[in-house]
Structure formats: C-alpha cells, structure tokens
Structure 1
Amino acid sequence: MMILEKNQPVISEHDSWVWRHTRSGLYSVKSGYELAFTMKNVELIRDQQALPSLNPLKDRVWNLMAPSKLKVFIWKALSGALSVLDGLRDRGMKCDLECQTCGETGESINHVLFSCTFARQVWAMTRFPSPPAGFDSFSIFVNVNYLISFWETKKHVFEATRNFPWVLWCLWKNRNNLLFEGALFESVQVCAKAEEEASQWYAAQSLERRSTDDNRNRLIQASAAWKRPPENFVKCNIRFKWEDSRGTVLLHSRRSFGNVESKDDAQFLSVAWAIESMRCHRFRMVYFAVEERMLVDAINKPSDWPSFKFKILELRSILRDFLEWKMLAKSYEANRGAHLIATSVVMDLRFQSYVARSQPIWYSEVFHNDNSDRHGVP
C-alpha cells in the first residue's frame, strides 16, 4: 500500500515506460552502462565496498589543496601504481633487491615515501607534526590517512600541514633522479624545494581566486538581483525549507507540511501551495520564480521527466486557470526574500499556515525597500 502511495498512477494518460535508474525517469547511455557493470561485477563491487578499504581514502585525496598532478600521484601511490623495485619484482622482472638510497632490502612505495632513512630525515626537517610513534614501516594506508586526517582537522591551525603533497612529490622525484641520473640531493634541499613549490602554487592560487571573485561579484551585481516582471504581471517567488529583492510585496505566506518523506516531495508541495494561493487571490498573469532548476525543467517540459508525471500533471492542472504563466529558475540572491520567509517556519517555529497582505515586519529592514517595484512572496 505504501509503495502505491509513493508511486501514484496517472489515470488520465496511457501507460508509458519509466527508467528507474535515473532521477528523471529517462534512459541514458551512462546509466545503462553503470547498470550493466553493476550486474556483471557483483563480486568485484562487493570486495571494493568491504572494509577496510583504500577507496574512501582515495576519494579524500581529490579534496586536497594541491595541483592535479600531485593528487594523481598520491592516488597512484595508494593504488600501488608507482614503479618501485618490489612491484617490478612481483611482475617477474629481474632487478636489484636493495633500496638504492639507504641500502635496505626491498623498495616498496611506503618505503620510498615514509620508512626509508632518507625519507625519515626529510619528514623530520619539515614542519609537519609526525605521528607519536613515527610513520608506519609497512602500511601506506596508515601513513597517508594520518597526513590527510591531520590536514583536514588542523589546516586552520598549522599552516605547514598544507605542504605535505609537495614533500611526497619531491621525495619521489629525488628517488628517480638517483636511479636515472645518478644525482641524490641532500634532505635539506628536498625539504626546501617542497616548501618553495608549495609557496609558489598557493601564491598563484591567491591571485587567481582574487580575480575570479572580482568577476563573480560583477556578474552577481549585473544579473543576480531581483528583476521586476513585465507590465500587468506579478512575480511569485517560491522557496521551501525541508529538514531530514527589491519591490513592494503584495502578499506573503507560510505553510508547514508534515510527514514529507523526501526533498522532491517538499518541492512539489511548496510549489503547489504557492500556485494555488495565487489562483485563489485571482492573480491571472504570474511569473513563478523557483530556485530548484530540476523542478522548473520538469514543469516546463514534462516529457523529459516521466518519473514525476503524476505530480507535474497536478501542478499543470492548477496552472490552466491562469491566463498566462511562466516558470523561472532563479538563484538564491534573486530569491533571498522567499528563502528567509521559508527558513523562519523552521527556525522560529511558525507552523501556522496563512496568506497575508504586504510583508513581514523585518522584510523592509533586510532589503531597504524603495517601493519602486512589486512582487508577491508566498
């Protein structure tokens, strides 16, 4: 019974196919390949999802503040994809069994980056706090997990924690210089090189970010502000708040919904309430402004969203009573008034539903209303 309530049938139209492996309900080649791979590699996926696993740690690598080549390098290190002597020997190649840097037997990725005598010297010279018991001699998972976890939690306290990707990179380059060019730099030089490259990269990022922010601010000022609708139209800004402007406000409303199981349901219920409210107050030419682009696309072109056919047909049946309407996707900046009103339902416990004239008392204080335009804000 609950399944039928969640998937309500559309009795006014013929049955049609819906692809349940995409959100919209339309088939895509990508989703088809993903489904085929999943069905064909059940055991492989189960093994990958088993814990402990390197996969969650590999995902965290991509969040590091470092160049892409360094992220790829660390990902390869965790994946065992760097050409070290142990790996070459396991593949049947004849090679020396001793580390060319320190002379110990065996050369694993973890050895080159952490447990080698030379690597230990470099890490001791960096300002990155070492583990209490030192780096693990056998597990690259333990060592890289320590570096990333410390960076994630202490990056605002210890500035030096951000340089560790460059330390790993310079250790690897130094090892290759010894093997292929016969030149081994001193640990002090490797440490200084890592800090220099990190400082240069962060300086370049700071300049680029400043330029990007300036451009973004100009774009927001030019296009993100609330815009008045054409003559004879009113604009209805819609926003919902789900827990698991400028202008003279004609109406504003709040409504609290209970037993809403998903964010999608909250979106549809909020828009249906707003449309119904505008219809009941006899507005016949309305621009509806919604932040959720997915919902706007589904209402404007239902054929591309068969998964939401029942809900979309309900909304469009209400919209038939309007002489003219338009559903627009708007940014948060252009929809901030409706956002604040929706948030007040949850934050201020305003669970009583109503539609009222004008605006809340605080509205003009937030937006410094100049009474030059007008719009409705359910």
Structure 2
Amino acid sequence: MDDLPRRPINKEREVDVNLQVASLLGTNGQWDVTKLIHLFPENEVTRILHMQVGNVHDRDVWAYSPHGSYTVKSGYTLATKLKEAEAVRDASEFVEVLELKRLIWKVPTIPKIHIERLNTRGLELDTCCRICKAAGESIEHALFNCTMAQEAWNQRSLTDLLTAYLKFMPDETIPFAQRKAIPWILWAIWKNINMLLYADTQESITIQIVHGMNEEEKKWVPPLPGYVKCNIHSNWRNAKLHSGVDYIIRDQSGNVLHHARDALTFSPNRVTSELSCLVWTLEIGFYFKDIIEAVKKPNDWPLFRALLQLISSLCARFRSVAFEVESSASNQIAREIAKSVLCDGHFQSYLAFGGPAWLHQRILREAAPISS
C-alpha cells in the first residue's frame, strides 16, 4: 500500500480524468484485462487485478488502514508523515539535519531519553513510576525493582527460577504450574504497568497469570449436539505466492466427517486470503448441503465489502451458520493441513471423507477427552 493514494500510472500521455472503475469492467462484472493492458503498464495491471470487485454500492474508504475504516492510530500516522513531507519540501536545505536526527533516534540508549523524545512530539509522559513514585522508570525497574513487581515475585518465589530459565523449564521435579507461570508473571506485571499509565487502573496480577495460563491451554471444543463444527485456516505468506486453504468438519464426538484442501490464487494481503478461504468453504459446504469480526460487522471493513457481501449471500443459503474465533492452539488440525500446501508443495485440490491419514493420531487425541 502506498503512503499516499495516487492514480495508477498510465501508458498514454493524455489521461482521462473522468475514468471510472465501471469502465474497466467486462460484461461478467470482473476486470476487463484487455482494457487494463491497453491503459496501464504491467506492474499496475497486476496490482489492479489483485483488487476484489463485486456488485456493491460505492462508499468512502479510508486509504490509510488495512481494513478501510478510520482509526486514531492511522490518522496520527498520516499527520506525522504529512508533517515530515512538508518539512522536507519547504526546507530542503535542512535535509542533512533531518537525516542526522533520524540517525540519533536510532542510537541504542536508555528509555528515559526515548520518553523525552516522545514528549517533544506531544506525548507528555512522566518518567516517574506511577506505583512506587521512584524516578527514572525503566523496563528493569517495572519488571523487577518496583514494589508491585517484588510482591509478585515474592508470591511465586520464582526469582531463582528465572535466573536459570532454560535450565529449569524441562526439570520435572519442579511443579509444572510454577514452570509454566514464569513468562506469564512478566507479562502480567508489564500489562499492569501499562494499564496504570494509560488507563489509570489495575488488575489483580494473580488473576491475570491464571487467565493467561488458561488461554495457553485452549483445545478444540466440540459443537453442540445436532450440529457439526467446521475449522478453517488460510496459510498466507505474501502477495506473490498462493495461499494454502483447508477445512475439516467434525461432529460432537470429534469424528471427522470430511475435509478439503486447495491452493488459492495470489491474495494481496492476509485478510483477503482469509476471507477468500471462507468463501471457498461456504461454496463447498452449500454444494454438499451440509474472519470473524469482518463477517459480523461488515460495515467496519469497507475495503473488503465485495467479499463480505458474497459471504453474506452464501450464508443465506444455509439453514443455520454461526462463526466463532478459534485460537491457534485449538485449531491445530486445520492449520497443519493448510500449511502442507506451501510447505510440502501440495497444490492439488481435493475433498475427502474422514480426516487425513497423516493426522489420524492427533485427531484421535483431540477427540479423546470428549469420549471420556
């Protein structure tokens, strides 16, 4: 994506300023490749063909975020870039000075200097610790020296354990819960510091640690009785490669009814790849009669409205469809099948009853707790 929106580069010297997207579409509603090649150079044609088109109404799209909706972060980034561009344009003689400032900003230094630099950019940050009021707060202070950090370490008695982290993690003589808690303690302390700084609130460190450990243990959850569950995954690497996609359908006992795998054509970004994977799954599911925030709130994702409208129309053909977000840990089977497309070069699409033989044991292990 360009830093600033621009018109495509034209082959011809005279440009039709009234040219509309509709003029570049064929009778089938898709891009007319012949017209594109006639008007634009090859690299621009490739970029245009990666854009999804559909029978959707025109609407304003914010060009500076991945999903097409305005966010404060994207607005601040744009304002910063425009200010920098204006400074370079109006004071070209100071280019060397600006470059020197960039080099100084990259010099490894103590966090306090970074905070002072952020203060000059309009962020009034206090360098004192908000918890114990100690001056010159640093990462070391927040994680180890602050009174709250020391309290957390004293509760768990893991200071010595952290010192020999790599050595003690495989040691089965140490209770598993203590070994597993080490990274979550650091995460909970750091999260609490940020919440106090920016939201002026705190949460129980113990509750955060327990919640984090529970999140890590997420496993595949079966569907409700009478329903089936379809896990999908899209393995996207970059805009130049195919995307590996798959779905696997299981019943409430964990039995695999059927699964499918395919390689989709190039997608310009991860979201397009994931939405295309969902379209592919719904189309196959409809024929056999048998990303989630974007599907639930399509108006917040205007950049992908053509795909989202197609998903909506496909969902209407089913008697009942529900979407839920799966964590990486609870979606391992679908992830492994999708990854095999790119990792192992399995570009041949197929649909099969049951699960893949090479994942048979893992599927049984996921279904075992349900049977018991």
The residue aligned with 1:131 is none
The question of 1:247 aligning with 2:274 is answered no
Q: Does 1:23 align with 2:66?
A: yes
The 1:15–1:257 alpha-carbon spacing in structure 2 relative to 1, beyond 3 Å, is: closer
Secondary structure of the 1:327 match is coil
Q: Counterpart of 2:106 in structure 1: which amino acid?
A: P
Residue 363 (structure 1) aligns with: 359
The structure 2 residue matched to 1:53, chosen from 71, 85, 103, is 103
Q: 289, 295, 313: which is aligned to 1:299? A: 295
Which of 286, 309, 315 is 1:313 aligned to?
Answer: 309
Q: Which amino acid counterpart does residue 326 of structure 2 have in structure 1?
A: K
Counterpart of 1:261? 268
Partners of 1:240 and 1:249 in 2: CA distance: 19
Counterpart of 1:42, as a letter, is A
After superposition, residues 195-234 of structure 1 pair within 5 angstroms as 203=159, 206=162, 209=182, 212=185, 215=210, 216-221=212-217, 224-234=218-228
Q: Which of the residues 326, 346, 350 maps onto 1:350?
A: 346
- Match runs of 1:121-270 below 5 Å: 203=159, 206=162, 209=182, 212=185, 215=210, 216-221=212-217, 224-244=218-238, 247-270=254-277
Contact (CA 8 Å) 1:240, 1:270: kept in 2 or not?
A: yes
Name which of 286, 302, 311 aligns with 1:279: 286
TM-score normalised by length of structure 1 = 0.52
Alignment deviations for residues 8-46 of structure 1 (CA, whole Å, 9 cap, x no partner): 4443x4321111112222223443343233223315579
CA distance in 2, matches of 1:227, 1:324: 19
Kindly provide the CA deviation profile for residues 276-329 of structure 1, in whole angstroms up to 9, marking residues without a partner as x: 12212111xxxxxxxxxxx31111111111111011111212111111101111
SS in 2 for 1:53: helix
More off after superposition, 357-366 vs 27-36: 27-36
Question: For residues 210 and 261 of structure 1, what CA distance do their matches in structure 2 show?
Answer: 35
Q: CA deviation at 1:56?
A: 3.4
Could you tell me which of 319, 328, 349 is aligned with 2:324? 328
Say if 2:68 and 2:302, in contact at 8 Å, map to a contact too.
yes
Q: Write the deviation string for residues 221-271 of structure 1: whole angstroms up to 9, x where unpaired.
A: 4xx111111222111100111233981111111101233333233212222
Deviations, residues 24-80 of structure 1 (Å, cap 9, x unaligned): 22223443343233223315579587477133345xx6xxxxxxxxx423647999x
Distance in 2, Cα, partners of 1:343 & 1:297? 23
Structure 2 unpaired stretches of 5+: 1-35, 37-44, 90-94, 121-135, 137-143, 163-177, 188-208, 239-249
- The secondary structure found in structure 2 opposite 1:239 is strand
Letter in 1 for 2:237: E
- The whole-number CA distance in structure 2 between the counterparts of 1:36 and 1:211 is 36
TM-score, normalised by the number of residues in structure 2: 0.53
Q: CA deviation at 1:210?
A: 5.9
Structure 1 residues 205 and 304: alpha-carbon distance in aligned structure 2, compared to 1, 3 A threshold: farther
Q: Provide the C-alpha distance between the structure 2 equivalents of 1:255 and 1:302, rounded to a whole number of angstroms.
A: 26
**Hey, what's the Cα distance between the residues in 1 that align with 2:361 and 2:280?**
27
1:261 to 1:210, Cα distance in 2 relative to 1, 3 A = closer
Residues 15 and 75 of structure 1, relative CA distance in 2, 3 Å threshold = closer
Larger radius of gyration: 1
Q: 2: distance between equivalents of 1:22 and 1:220?
A: 30
**Is the CA contact (8 Å cut-off) linking 1:240 and 1:342 kept in structure 2?**
yes
- List gaps (5 residues or longer) in structure 1: 62-70, 82-168, 170-195, 284-294
What letter matches 2:267 in structure 1?
Answer: V
Q: Secondary structure at the match of 1:240?
A: strand
Shift of 1:354: 0.6
Q: Which residue of 2 aligns with 1:151?
A: none
CA distance in 1, matches of 2:184, 2:85: 47
